[in-house]
Amino acid sequence: MDFPALHPPRTVGRLLYQPLATYPVAVAVQLPQAPQLDLGQLCALLLGEIRLWNDPKLAQAGGVRLPALPVLVISRSDPNAASFAVSQTCSTESRNWRERIGVRSRWQAGASKLVSGLEAQRAALALPGSLTVMLPSELPPGAQSARLRAVGGEYFGFERARFGFAVPRGLREPWQGAVQLPSDPYAPLPAANAPDAYPLRGLLWGVALEQQKYRGRGRARAEALRDLLRALRSGGVPEGLAPLPNLPLPGTFFYGAKPLP
């Protein structure tokens, strides 16, 4: 958001991190029919701890049988939002993931096939038994996606997260300050708590410099950034994201010695 924050001048102070919205992550598979998974099963699949789709640990409801195919986990070698969000979730759900991988925007885990870039990921998804994570907008036409178990016990597709159901534990709409969200993007996310919340999602963050007077930056531009954050916090996020309304600002912006009101 505040691009110079990626390489800030040493004298301008600290970075401010602002959570803005949640976004869903799809679990894409190449199987005769989409499986139903809980988050523990998903993390175990990605770690390579479950290697066959017909493993009894993946027993499906209603007598549905998954095929006797190897699980082909496709991971991306380049940083991407879906991999980052999954690493945040699995760092909460799986001790093995937390100790071996942690929160990262790219990982290999138990990957059977490592690819670079979205197009290679989409092409690899055509392989029988393949499994990968991606944003819903990145899914190839006709792709299957797993339904994930919500805390209420039902299974939902990623479409649920588009309507504001992916709410971190303790949050309500409007925001009541019941819990603290992570103070920066590189921390595990609390689990979703709403009974019908799609559980696999990430947080969209705004990152800006606390001190806005630097490198000839005008006050009008600093005020425009402040106003943009306010608008996004009020729910003005793009379609496909679930807003986190009425969040307080992460701190005070300054322009020189004076705070921006």
Give the long-range contacts of residues 177-180, CB within 8 A, separation 24 or more: 177/248
Q: Give pLDDT tens digits for 113-153.
A: 999 999 999 999 999 999 999 999 899 998 999 999 988 88
pLDDT bracket for residue 257 (50, 70, 90):
confident
Q: DSSP H helical segments within the chain, as ranges?
A: 39-47, 81-93, 95-100, 118-124, 219-233
What average pLDDT is seen over the chain? 80
pLDDT bracket for residue 41 (50, 70, 90):
very high
The pLDDT assigned to 147 comes to 93
Cα–Cα distances (Å) from 213 to 12, 134, 206, 210, 248, in that order, read 8, 38, 18, 9, 22
As a dihedral over the C-alpha atoms of residue 94, residue 99, residue 117, residue 113, rounded to 10 degrees, the angle is -80
Give the span between the Cα atoms of 216 and 125, in whole angstroms.
Answer: 48
Give ranges for CATH 3.40.190.10 in the chain: 26-149
Q: DSSP H helical segments within 71-209, as ranges?
A: 81-93, 95-100, 118-124
Place of tokens 């410099």: 209
The b-or-e profile of 230-242 (16+ CB within 10 A means b, else e) is: eebbebebeeebb
Q: Give pLDDT tens digits for 227-238.
A: 887 777 666 666
Give the span between the Cα atoms of 217 and 111, in whole angstroms.
Answer: 45
Measured in degrees and rounded to the nearest 5, phi and psi for residue 232 equal -65, -40
The pLDDT assigned to 198 comes to 83
Quick check: 157 and 198 in contact, CB under 8 A? yes
The pLDDT assigned to 177 comes to 38
Q: Are strands 26-29 and 72-76 parallel, antiparallel or unpaired?
A: unpaired
Residue 240 has pLDDT above 80, yes or no: no
pTM of the entire predicted model: 0.79
Q: Are strands 242-243 and 113-115 parallel, antiparallel or unpaired?
A: unpaired
The pLDDT assigned to 142 comes to 87
Q: Give pLDDT tens digits for 66-99.
A: 999 999 999 999 999 999 999 989 998 999 999 9
Between 253 and 246, residue with greater pLDDT: 253
What's the token pair of residue 228? Answer: 């943009």
The CATH T-level fold of domain 26-149 is D-Maltodextrin-Binding Protein; domain 2 (3.40.190)
Q: Give pLDDT tens digits for 145-180.
A: 999 998 888 898 888 654 333 344 444 433 333 445
> Which contiguous run of DSSP H or E holds residue 22?
strand 15-24
Quick check: 190 and 166 in contact, CB under 8 A? no
